[in-house]
Amino acid sequence: MNSRYFGDVISPQVTQCAPVNNDQALIEAGETAALEPSRVPGIYFPVTGQQRDVYRTKTGKRLTPHQWNVYNFAMTIPGGKVATYKEVAADAGGSPRSVCNALRNNPFSPYVPCHRVIASDLFVGGFFGERGKDHKTGTRYNEKVDILSKEGVHFNEKGHLLSAKVLWKP
């Protein structure tokens, strides 16, 4: 595979496996950045071009090159930092809306940390298709805020980022 983020990497087939050591506790705590894909239970993340060509989502759909670019970029955002949909679009291609749609349909969560991408106005943004406390159930909004809070990224009561120091740019 020749990837902007991983270089020329040939990776062995990654398969689903049981948690190793205390990985499940890390996942539940939202601390998945240090986990390798093969160590995140139930998540298969294709790395090579060949693996990605044959990969299908649970609904049988292929992922577009744009989606792979967005997921690759999201994986480079370190824990405790966030990037905006606009920044991801500038690097991965497409528009902020297309980045949002790719992340909304992220089949690799939590391994691909879609929760680390926020709106350009520094609002916490959407999570699993819900935006804000008053959208649909509002539970997804709270879930994203909680995950980011555990990573050291905090928002005010209206959902806006408290400190621009956690904004990450490649």
CB 148 within 8 A of CB 116: yes
For residue 101, the model assigns a pLDDT of 93
For residue 5, give the nearest of 84, 126, 62, 88 by alpha carbon: 88
The pLDDT of residue 136: 61
Q: Average of pLDDT values for 49-57?
A: 91
pTM across the whole model: 0.73
CA angle, 54 then 60 then 63, to 5°: 55
Which position has the higher pLDDT, 79 or 9? Answer: 79
Which residue in this structure is represented by tokens 């990969």? 55
pLDDT-based confidence at 64, cuts 50/70/90? very high
120 — pLDDT class (breaks 50, 70, 90):
very high
More confident residue, 132 or 104: 104
Mean of pLDDT values over 116-140? 77
Q: Enumerate the β-bridge partners of residue 130.
A: 127
pLDDT at 39 over 60: no
pLDDT band of residue 4 (cuts 50, 70, 90) is very low
| 111-122 average pLDDT score | 93
Q: Can you give the pLDDT at residue 29?
A: 52
Q: How far apart are CA 164 and CA 132, in angstroms?
A: 20
How high is the pLDDT of residue 151? 94
pLDDT (average), residues 114-141: 78
Instruction: Please give the mean pLDDT across all residues of the chain.
Output: 78
Q: How many CB atoms lie within 10 A of CB 100?
A: 22
Residues 6+ apart with CB under 8 A from 65: none
